[in-house]
Structure 1
Amino acid sequence: MSLAAMTWIFLGAAALLFTAALLLRRIPPRAVLPPVGGALAVVLLLTAVFDNLMIAAGLFDYGEHGLSGLRIGLAPVEDLGYAATAVLLVPAVYWLAGGPAERGAGVRATADGGRTSAAGTLAGLLATSRPLSWINTAYPFAAAYLLTAGRVDAAFVVGTLFFLVPYNLAMYGINDVFDHDSDLRNPRKGGVEGAVLEKARHRGVLWAAGLAGAPFVAVLLAWGTWVSALVLAGSLAAVYAYSAPGLRFKEVPGLDSATSSLHFVSPAVFGLALAGAEPTPQLGALLAAFFLWGMASHAFGAVQDVVPDREAGIASIATVCGARRTVRGAAAAYLLAGALMLTTAWPGPWAALLALPYVANVLPFVRIDDAGSAAAHAGWRRFLWLNYVTGFLVTLLLIAAWWGR
């Protein structure tokens, strides 16, 4: 099947799913088409720009096989089809998973809305996997593997898909099952920041979390080395240990932030190991900076939950250290991460500047007290979108690094 034909198939399927979501959720098209249209215009523009940059840098080239032959500069128009597919697919999946169609219209409810059908089960699994955060684990693996191996191959595709969905289903699914009681007390759970599934769904979520990733893990282990196998085993162990009974690393202050950071750093380390990267001091500094960023982000995220976590008897770095000290510690960790990036090779020092927006995001809360810790939720919401802006800028730096080889 040609790439052009696949593009039309995926785009058509996304359009059908988008239409189905509007009909099933009874969403007025006039309420959502303007923002979706605006997002489509921005994504198509960025796709055209970045495709041209990456093809010009030699990251990849489609040739002419299976293409329509139409191009925007160096980029085939088929890539715009995949971008449009994503723009239609993301809101459709979000609405079908129970997300509100209007800003500020969120409701406190279980992720599957009480449905017992297969559609309700899938919606619950989708919600618990946190689609908003999929890219945070898939991107580190993909970038590390691509820059090391210098090619897009089967291992790249399988690994990216694994860290995109099954890995997140395991990580957040285990968490949502064993944090169910405390999540019921948490007003921010029950939407894109965390599913609250009915207890009847819990066993199915755990089975799905294990089975969905098993084929990917088997293939990646077979294709890798003993080093990459150890890294993957450690990554999966951290996913389990964070929330599972008997371990519950998330309730050990300090270890909670370190383990959470490993959830995002370990995919990058695995990508490096799978592609055969050679360890260097500068690579170590880069990974250490990434690790500090992850710890700072988790610690700041824990601040908003100080009150519900204490009510549920859950210890965290924020409940033990207090909201104010935790915020200040997060700011310091962000600054240290930026300082470490200054020791890396070009264009790494430019990435040091990317720590500053995160510092600016937490500074308004340096005087926060425990009773008012819920106010940090505003900063956490900004953090979620700040990651996308940072990812955009990191991509520019990676292209520059590739181009400078």
Structure 2
Amino acid sequence: MTYPTLALLGAVIALAAGLVAWGLAAARRTPTLAVTGASRRHWIAVAITVGALFILTAIFDNVMIGLGLFTYAPEFLLGISVGLAPIEDFSYPLAGAVLLPALWVLLARGGADRQRAFSQLVLSSRPVSWINTAYPFGAAYLLTTREIDWLLVLGFLYFLIPYNLAMYGINDVFDYESDIANPRKGGIEGALLHPRLHRATLWAAALTNIPFLLVLGLAGGPATWLALAVSVFAVIAYSAKGLRFKERPFLDSITSSTHFVSPAVVGLTLAGAEFTMPLVLTLAAFFLWGMAAHAFGAIQDIGPDREGGIHSVATVIGARSTVRFALVLWLLAGVAMLFTPWPGPLAAIIVVPYLVNCAPWWNVTDETSGRTNIAWRRFIWLNFFSGALATLILITEWTPA
């Protein structure tokens, strides 16, 4: 399948879905969805969104292509471009900007209950954290192949949304009883899924994951199959009854870190990367970072977890020891990067903000552990800053001299 075919197919499907949803909504002839009312505002909002995304796509595509971060195979392109950016790249923001609002309008036909159910499903996938799993896959695959192809797009989309719906949705289903006592739930840090949505969440996770897994598995070899198997097993084992790795101290941090490192390994195996010592050290540093992140995040839940009978690394060794454990892991992650070829050592700087964010809680107690949520909320946004630094380092590495 050529790149134009893949890109245009996605845009056509999204546009068709948008038109169908708009037509169904307009057919109701209700004041809220009449053609002259909300539906007109709907399309104005879509047009503004598409325009903004087109501008951003043109800017960042031209910058990244100009710096030599990636290239396109000319024989797979239509040959039309905006500066250096191929016209096909603009199909993705178009598809997203049309499809998502159209889906919301279509759900309106089922009433407020259906819209609320859909919003809870989306919330349970932690949209603010989608990029944390998609980025490792995309970076690993792109930096190995240095080309954008259908596998990159498919894998990125999978690890962006369906993978997170499975990982966090399954967690919200099986953690419902303890989540009731957790004040963090019900916002960007996780949904408080009503029991009537549990079955739907599990079905949605299965139906959105299986097709992607089959295609990615068929496109790869035994190494990809193993990486995907480990990734999916870690997602299920962390929360599902009978396994519940999240209740096995230290194994909980290892499993959580696997959630974020395994997408990178999948990308590397799909791209046919050679696992050299510098690459292994980079993955090890990433893994240590993931373990530190999980351990530090568990501190704020010591109270609710103990009330719910959930054992974690933080409930077992205590808040103070867990803070120090996380600090050591982040420090080791930075040290590991110092032994990679240039510009890898620059990445050691990335752990500094996490150390600064965590260190003030050196003497936190179990009784005051809930206050670390302040630092955890900063941690969520620090990930975007760290991703920007990592991107700059990657650009430095791949920019021709």
Q: TM-score, normalised by structure 2?
A: 0.80
Over 3 Å counting, the alpha-carbon distance change for 1:240 and 1:289 in structure 2 is: same
Please state if 1:55 is matched with 2:66.
yes
Deviation at 1:217, TM superposition (A): 0.7
Over 3 Å counting, the alpha-carbon distance change for 1:186 and 1:154 in structure 2 is: same
Alignment partner, residue 124 of structure 1? 120
Over 3 Å counting, the alpha-carbon distance change for 1:253 and 1:85 in structure 2 is: same
Which amino acid counterpart does residue 54 of structure 1 have in structure 2?
I
Over 3 Å counting, the alpha-carbon distance change for 1:44 and 1:376 in structure 2 is: farther
Query: Matched residue pairs, number?
Result: 370
Please state if 1:215 is matched with 2:226.
no
Alignment partner, residue 395 of structure 2? 399
Which amino acid counterpart does residue 53 of structure 1 have in structure 2?
M
Alignment partner, residue 39 of structure 2? none
Q: Is the 8 A contact 2:72 2:147 kept in 1?
A: no
Counterpart-to-counterpart distance in 2, 1:396 and 1:10:
32
- Residues 177-228 of structure 1: CA deviation (Å, up to 9, x unaligned): 0000100100010111101111011111111111111111111111111111
Q: Is the 8 A contact 1:238 1:259 kept in 2?
A: yes
Alignment partner, residue 240 of structure 1? 236
Aligned counterpart for 1:347 among listed residues 343, 356, 367: 343
Which amino acid counterpart does residue 344 of structure 1 have in structure 2?
T
- Residues 47-83 of structure 1: CA deviation (Å, up to 9, x unaligned): 6256323333151259796587543xx4479868967
Deviation at 1:369, TM superposition (A): 0.9
List aligned pairs for 1:140-289, cutoff 5 A.
140-289=136-285
Over 3 Å counting, the alpha-carbon distance change for 1:224 and 1:194 in structure 2 is: same
Q: Is the 8 A contact 2:14 2:96 kept in 1?
A: no
Higher Cα Rg, which structure: 2
Alignment partner, residue 290 of structure 1? 286
Counterpart-to-counterpart distance in 2, 1:370 and 1:87:
45
Please state if 1:386 is matched with 2:382.
yes
Query: Where do 5+ consecutive residues of structure 1 fail to align?
Result: 25-36, 97-113
Please state if 1:327 is matched with 2:323.
yes
Counterpart-to-counterpart distance in 2, 1:65 and 1:279:
31
Counterpart-to-counterpart distance in 1, 2:206 and 2:11:
31
Q: Is the 8 A contact 1:186 1:305 kept in 2?
A: yes
Over 3 Å counting, the alpha-carbon distance change for 1:84 and 1:309 in structure 2 is: same
Deviation at 1:13, TM superposition (A): 9.6
Which amino acid counterpart does residue 374 of structure 1 have in structure 2?
G
Deviation at 1:12, TM superposition (A): 12
Deviation at 1:158, TM superposition (A): 1.5
Deviation at 1:392, TM superposition (A): 1.1
Over 3 Å counting, the alpha-carbon distance change for 1:84 and 1:329 in structure 2 is: farther
More off after superposition, 238-247 vs 74-83: 74-83
Deviation at 1:234, TM superposition (A): 0.8
Counterpart-to-counterpart distance in 1, 2:264 and 2:124:
23
| Identity across the alignment (%) | 51
Aligned counterpart for 1:314 among listed residues 293, 304, 310: 310
Over 3 Å counting, the alpha-carbon distance change for 1:65 and 1:264 in structure 2 is: closer
- Residues 130-179 of structure 1: CA deviation (Å, up to 9, x unaligned): 11111111110111111112222222121111111111111111100000
Counterpart-to-counterpart distance in 2, 1:170 and 1:387:
21
Alignment partner, residue 37 of structure 2? none
Counterpart-to-counterpart distance in 1, 2:382 and 2:364:
21
Counterpart-to-counterpart distance in 1, 2:307 and 2:8:
55
Over 3 Å counting, the alpha-carbon distance change for 1:214 and 1:169 in structure 2 is: same
Which amino acid counterpart does residue 59 of structure 1 have in structure 2?
F
Q: Is the 8 A contact 1:341 1:352 kept in 2?
A: yes
Deviation at 1:120, TM superposition (A): 3.1
Over 3 Å counting, the alpha-carbon distance change for 1:88 and 1:397 in structure 2 is: farther
Please state if 1:134 is matched with 2:145.
no
List aligned pairs for 1:22-37, cutoff 5 A.
none
Over 3 Å counting, the alpha-carbon distance change for 1:12 and 1:133 in structure 2 is: farther
Counterpart-to-counterpart distance in 1, 2:54 and 2:126:
21
Q: Is the 8 A contact 2:67 2:395 kept in 1?
A: no
Structure 1 stretches of at least 4 aligned residues deviating more than 4 Å after TM superposition: 1-14, 40-47, 61-70, 75-90
Deviation at 1:275, TM superposition (A): 1.3
Secondary structure of the structure 2 residue equivalent to 1:125: helix
More off after superposition, 260-269 vs 327-336: 327-336
Q: Is the 8 A contact 1:48 1:80 kept in 2?
A: no
List aligned pairs for 1:358-377, cutoff 5 A.
358-377=354-373
Counterpart-to-counterpart distance in 1, 2:99 and 2:390:
25
Which amino acid counterpart does residue 116 of structure 1 have in structure 2?
D
Q: TM-score, normalised by structure 1?
A: 0.80
Which amino acid counterpart does residue 259 of structure 2 have in structure 1?
H
Secondary structure of the structure 1 residue equivalent to 2:189: coil
Over 3 Å counting, the alpha-carbon distance change for 1:254 and 1:326 in structure 2 is: same
